[in-house]
Structure 1
Amino acid sequence: MACLVSLSISLFICLVCSQGHALSLNYYEKTCPNAESIVTEVVKDAAKKDNTVPAALLRMHFHDCFIRGCDASVLLNSKGKNSAEKDGPPNKSLHAFYVIDNAKKAVEALCPGVVSCADILASAARDAVVLSGGPYWDVPKGRKDGRISKASETTQMPAPLFNISQLQQSFSQRGLSMEDLVALSGGHTIGFSHCSSFQNRIHNFNATHDIDPTLHPSFAASLKSICPNKSGTKNGGTSMDPSSTTFDNTYYKLILQGKSLFSSDQALLTSPKTKDLVSKFATSKETFYEAFSSSMIKMSSITGGQEIRKDCRVVN
């Protein structure tokens, strides 16, 4: 724990120097000291009732940060002729928005107009990982909420079909390294995937192979039984790994076994640097946890908002 805390502080200082944005570990110390504990309790309560909540919150935060920075723009509802991020193709399967709504209401009741939706989402994502058995890290706070949300911009999200070059470009455009790419991909250790995200690997893969030859044969057969054809599998799918509600390093072990779901997962073995990191994280859960914590702080410190929303679903 002490290692992660010191890591958090040093990385935070580095980010403030490079971005010039005043994120701070004690940002609400005087204005709303109980904000984080309130969010934690709301997330705990929701996760007890629905074990898919932690994975949903982690994914929601990731999808928020990759478009316009971590400004809670993914929480905004579509309005009039504007289709918001949450209605973009990569985000239509996002859920558990109500958890952030509930946390915001609880915080507003105590400290009205003080805590941003973006900070609530960043804290909730950390709580989601901890509740799933993963590492704890101190979340730098002080983000503002954005006023713009466009479904058309969600095409900028890294896709399950991406190769290593596309992944590297997507992450580097956001100031994230190859290590961040491999570490953050470890979030795939929890959650569920629909057939549409991996059917390219089990149907008409290329001119030579119907099935991606890098897939383990028995795993490919099980995926085909779940998603037997390219049509009619809209709601079908499978868990990201066998321990899909536990945050661990199983994801990396599965990649090495040819049992990862996405092309983008398998792509991590196509570069010497990322392959080495996959092997390191597969061997040591502690090493993965340290890297994941560091990369989450780095990603969640990409800022870009302008206000503190009263309601996370609408601008002020």
Structure 2
Amino acid sequence: MRRMSFIGSMIWLSFGLLCCVKADLQLGFYDKSCPKAEQTISDFVKEHIPHAPTLASPLLRMHFHDCFVRGCDGSVLINSTSNNQAEKAATPNLTLRGFDFIDRVKSLVEKECPGVVSCADILALVARDAVGVIGGPFWRVPTGRRDGTISNSTEALNNIPAPTFNFSALQTSFANKGLSVADLIWLSGAHTIGISHCSSFSSRLYNFTGKGGQDPSLDSFYAANLKKNKCKSPNDNTSIAEMDPGSFRTFDLGYYKNVLKRRGLFQSDAALITNAASKSAILNIVNSPPEVFFQVFAASMEKMGRIEVLTGSAGEIRKHCAVVNG
């Protein structure tokens, strides 16, 4: 009873800062202007993600990266030009994939209702639906976002939380977006699916102090396995490793269990157990039914999707997600 009471309080905390996150969105925003929009998006995702289930993770990550830079405005989708290095060109976004998937969905929706549905909403809905197809949680996606017209690589580098962040830096990064410590903990759970390039964590294996050596907070057996089978040299920028070994295609509690064993891949993962309240929350979640994690993750995802959204007459509805309207 005490454990469930604690988890219940964490669910409440996940909702608690909605007052501080712009929320001019509504469920079914396109019911009259484009009534088939959400079904069209859902159908496409359900048709194609089963054939490419590993795409769910980068699509979810793309939504996260979008929301942390100028809010959830689809700016991560914009291509660079000769005069501007867009968010796509920033180091945190160089490994993103799935842009063509978003473009295909946008094309279908444009055929149904030209100039009505924003790329920002499409990205938010695709991320949710893709996670659902692989057996992950469902969360509500209120719509009505409009697309931003500014996309800057420096802003992306400065705003997207880095895998090298400690707990204090993570807390500050999330707080700057109106997100709580609870949101930080549960949104980190997205690392239960997907992979990472070695370049994002190899310093933990080979040069943690700047003079060689290994991160002492990393389980030695896990580190040895990574060196032997995944990232065989400190200069390996192409090899990959699963963020949740053993179940990286399944949305489950494996990530948190690994973090507690000091087997989180990133420094930012390891940081979650350097804070007493965060570690306590993780201990409680791994001892609760999986659906509890689904509930708190869903609450934090809905909250994140409201960050600094453009609504009303702000922004635009882009005709093509990669290009600002002429």
TM-score, scaled to structure 2 = 0.89
- The offset of 1:162, in angstroms, is 0.3
- The offset of 1:18, in angstroms, is 4.8
User: What is the distance in 2 between the residues matched to 1:293 and 1:190?
Assistant: 15
| C-alpha contact 2:21 2:178 (8 A) present in aligned 1 | no
**Selected match of 1:94 from 74, 96, 100:** 96
| C-alpha contact 1:43 1:99 (8 A) present in aligned 2 | no
User: What is the distance in 1 between the residues matched to 2:248 and 2:116?
Assistant: 35
Who is 2:83 aligned against? 81
212-221 vs 150-159, which deviates more? 212-221
**Selected match of 1:194 from 194, 197, 202:** 197
* SS of residue paired to 1:193: strand
| C-alpha contact 2:23 2:309 (8 A) present in aligned 1 | no
User: What amino acid maps onto 1:266 in structure 2?
Assistant: A
User: What amino acid maps onto 1:299 in structure 2?
Assistant: M
In the alignment, does 2:120 pair up with 1:115? no
Who is 2:255 aligned against? 251
In the alignment, does 2:317 pair up with 1:308? yes
Task: Could you list the structure 1 runs, at least 4 aligned residues long, displaced by more than 6 angstroms after superposition.
Answer: none
User: What is the distance in 2 between the residues matched to 1:295 and 1:195?
Assistant: 28
Who is 1:288 aligned against? 293
User: What is the distance in 2 between the residues matched to 1:188 and 1:253?
Assistant: 12
275-284 vs 143-152, which deviates more? 275-284
Deviations 1:86-124 (A, max 9, x none): 111110000011111111111111111111100010011
In the alignment, does 2:269 pair up with 1:265? yes
Q: Any residues of structure 2 matched to 1:147-158 within 5 Å, and which?
A: 147-155=149-157, 156-158=159-161
User: What amino acid maps onto 1:159 in structure 2?
Assistant: A
In the alignment, does 2:283 pair up with 1:279? yes
User: What is the distance in 1 between the residues matched to 2:97 and 2:322?
Assistant: 14
| C-alpha contact 2:192 2:254 (8 A) present in aligned 1 | yes
**Selected match of 1:183 from 175, 181, 186:** 186
User: What amino acid maps onto 1:280 in structure 2?
Assistant: N
Structure 1 stretches lacking a partner, 5+ long: 1-6
* SS of residue paired to 1:140: coil
TM-score, scaled to structure 1 = 0.92
Who is 1:4 aligned against? none
User: What is the distance in 2 between the residues matched to 1:209 and 1:84?
Assistant: 34
Alpha carbons of 1:177 and 1:11: their partners in 2 closer, same or farther (altered >3 Å)?
closer
User: What is the distance in 1 between the residues matched to 2:182 and 2:70?
Assistant: 22
Alpha carbons of 1:268 and 1:257: their partners in 2 closer, same or farther (altered >3 Å)?
same
User: What is the distance in 1 between the residues matched to 2:285 and 2:37?
Assistant: 33
* SS of residue paired to 1:57: helix
| C-alpha contact 2:166 2:268 (8 A) present in aligned 1 | yes
**Selected match of 2:302 from 292, 297, 307:** 297
| C-alpha contact 2:58 2:96 (8 A) present in aligned 1 | yes
User: What is the distance in 2 between the residues matched to 1:213 and 1:186?
Assistant: 23
**Selected match of 1:61 from 60, 63, 67:** 63
34-43 vs 207-216, which deviates more? 207-216
Alpha carbons of 1:19 and 1:278: their partners in 2 closer, same or farther (altered >3 Å)?
closer
Alpha carbons of 1:108 and 1:194: their partners in 2 closer, same or farther (altered >3 Å)?
same
| C-alpha contact 2:22 2:306 (8 A) present in aligned 1 | no
Alpha carbons of 1:274 and 1:208: their partners in 2 closer, same or farther (altered >3 Å)?
farther
Alpha carbons of 1:99 and 1:264: their partners in 2 closer, same or farther (altered >3 Å)?
same
| C-alpha contact 1:85 1:154 (8 A) present in aligned 2 | yes
- The offset of 1:274, in angstroms, is 0.8
| C-alpha contact 1:83 1:151 (8 A) present in aligned 2 | yes
Deviations 1:171-212 (A, max 9, x none): 000000000000000000111101111112111223798222
Who is 2:163 aligned against? 160
User: What amino acid maps onto 1:58 in structure 2?
Assistant: L
* SS of residue paired to 1:279: helix
**Selected match of 2:24 from 10, 22, 25:** 22
Q: Any residues of structure 2 matched to 1:201-220 within 5 Å, and which?
A: 201-206=204-209, 210-220=213-223
- The offset of 1:44, in angstroms, is 2.3
Alpha carbons of 1:307 and 1:227: their partners in 2 closer, same or farther (altered >3 Å)?
same
User: What is the distance in 2 between the residues matched to 1:254 and 1:198?
Assistant: 16
**Superposition CA RMSD, Å:** 2.0
* SS of residue paired to 2:150: coil
- The offset of 1:20, in angstroms, is 5.6
